[in-house]
């Protein structure tokens, strides 16, 4: 794999890897990494085609992202890893753990893809948007021409907004954002992503020895994990701690509540002696 991902890093010790989703970058974790504190080598890569990582002419499929992430883990010789994931970063964390069961010590996640869904299970506020995104032509207009996911980010300082916007100055540069959105596993499609999610769901259900943490908040703009999906996690994910916060957060929980995210991860790491 020729493209090695850009990453930010702080601290020393056992590796703790923070994975972002769509449409963000490692910038998402800028307040969380230092607040988690040591010990621990805290690393946050930019996924391929995103942030400051390379933008090769590939399909930006789930498999493409997973292969580039595998190469990054191997290049940095990361083992005995704790994973922290948001959005598609959580899905990639689950997938990596399921394929490398001897190399993961724990997984924390928030606002991510925990199971294949029907359209009825998908949050009602987002159904029409994602139907449009998945439609040929209409999705390109929203995501490539209007850069919808980036331009709809809110509550950011101008410098942070610029950090998220900078990697996507052209229509072509925004293809990863469109392809990620179209990979949402709904009503059995896309079949390859559904199959990967089903495989990692089996791993999540059968590994009580691996500590897992779900962070939830009072619903804000774009919240993905409904009460029904949180209940599904409680029933189907082995070794799971759920920490429900009274604070309000939208879909981008590390942006909205970084102090709470960091404090909860820190307490969980210490509880399970993961560093």
- What pLDDT, in 10s, does the model give residues 154-203? 899 999 999 999 999 999 999 999 999 999 999 999 999 999 999 999 99
Domain assignment of residue 86, yes or no: yes
Catalytic residue among 27, 68, 87, 95: 87
pLDDT at 17 over 60: yes
DSSP string across 140-201: HIIIIIS-HHHHT--S--HHHHHHHHTT--STGGGHHHHHHHHT--BTTBSHHHHHHHHHHH
| Known catalytic residue at 74 | no
Question: Which pLDDT score, from 0 to 100, does residue 10 have?
Answer: 96
Question: Which pLDDT score, from 0 to 100, does residue 154 have?
Answer: 87
Domain assignment of residue 101, yes or no: yes
Q: Answer whether 55's CB lies under 8 Å from 82's CB.
A: no
Distance separating alpha carbons of residues 176 and 60, to the nearest angstrom: 6
Domain assignment of residue 149, yes or no: no
Task: Give the gyration radius of the chain's Cα atoms.
Answer: 17
For the chain, the average pLDDT equals 96
Domain assignment of residue 135, yes or no: no
Q: What are the residues facing 15 on neighbouring strands?
A: 41
Domain that holds residue 19: 7-118+188-271
Distance separating alpha carbons of residues 251 and 118, to the nearest angstrom: 19
Please give the model's pTM, rounded to 2 decimal places.
0.98
Question: Which pLDDT score, from 0 to 100, does residue 3 have?
Answer: 72
Q: Answer whether 82's CB lies under 8 Å from 108's CB.
A: yes
Catalytic residue among 65, 68, 95, 111: 111
Q: What is the pLDDT of residues 195-246, one digit of tens each?
A: 999 999 999 999 999 999 999 999 999 999 999 999 999 999 999 999 999 9
Name the 3-class secondary structure at 18.
strand
**Nearest Cα to Cα of residue 42 among 18, 22, 23, 66:** 18
| Known catalytic residue at 7 | no
Domain assignment of residue 139, yes or no: no
**Residue 240's CATH number:** 3.40.50.1820
Domain assignment of residue 133, yes or no: no
Domain assignment of residue 205, yes or no: yes
Q: Answer whether 86's CB lies under 8 Å from 110's CB.
A: yes
């Amino acid at each position: 794999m020729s493209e090695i991902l850009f990453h930010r890093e702080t601290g020393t010790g056992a590796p703790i890897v923070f994975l972002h989703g769509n449409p963000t970058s490692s910038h998402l974790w800028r307040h969380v990494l230092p607040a988690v504190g040591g010990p621990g080598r805290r690393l946050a890569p930019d996924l391929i085609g995103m942030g400051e990582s390379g933008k090769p002419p590939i399909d930006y499929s789930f498999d493409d992202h997973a292969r580039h992430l595998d190469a990054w883990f191997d290049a940095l010789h990361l083992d005995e890893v704790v994973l922290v994931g948001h959005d598609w970063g959580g899905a990639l964390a689950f997938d990596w753990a399921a394929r490398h069961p001897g190399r993961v010590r724990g997984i924390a996640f928030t606002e991510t893809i925990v199971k294949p869904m029907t359209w009825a299970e998908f949050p009602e506020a987002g159904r029409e948007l994602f139907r449009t995104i998945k439609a040929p032509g209409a999705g390109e207009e929203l995501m490539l021409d209007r850069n919808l996911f980036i331009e709809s980010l809110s509550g950011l300082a101008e410098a942070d907004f610029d950090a998220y916007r900078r990697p996507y100055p052209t229509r072509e540069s925004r293809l990863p954002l469109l392809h990620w959105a179209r990979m949402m596993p709904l009503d059995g499609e896309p079949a390859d992503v559904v199959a990967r999610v089903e495989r990692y769901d089996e791993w999540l259900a059968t590994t009580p020895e691996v500590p897992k943490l779900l962070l939830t908040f009072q619903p804000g703009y774009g919240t993905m994990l409904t009460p029904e999906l949180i209940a599904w996690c409680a029933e189907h994910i082995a070794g799971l701690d759920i920490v429900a916060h009274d604070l309000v957060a939208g879909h981008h929980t590390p942006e909205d509540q970084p102090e709470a995210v960091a404090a909860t991860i820190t307490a969980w790491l210490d509880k399970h002696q993961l560093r």
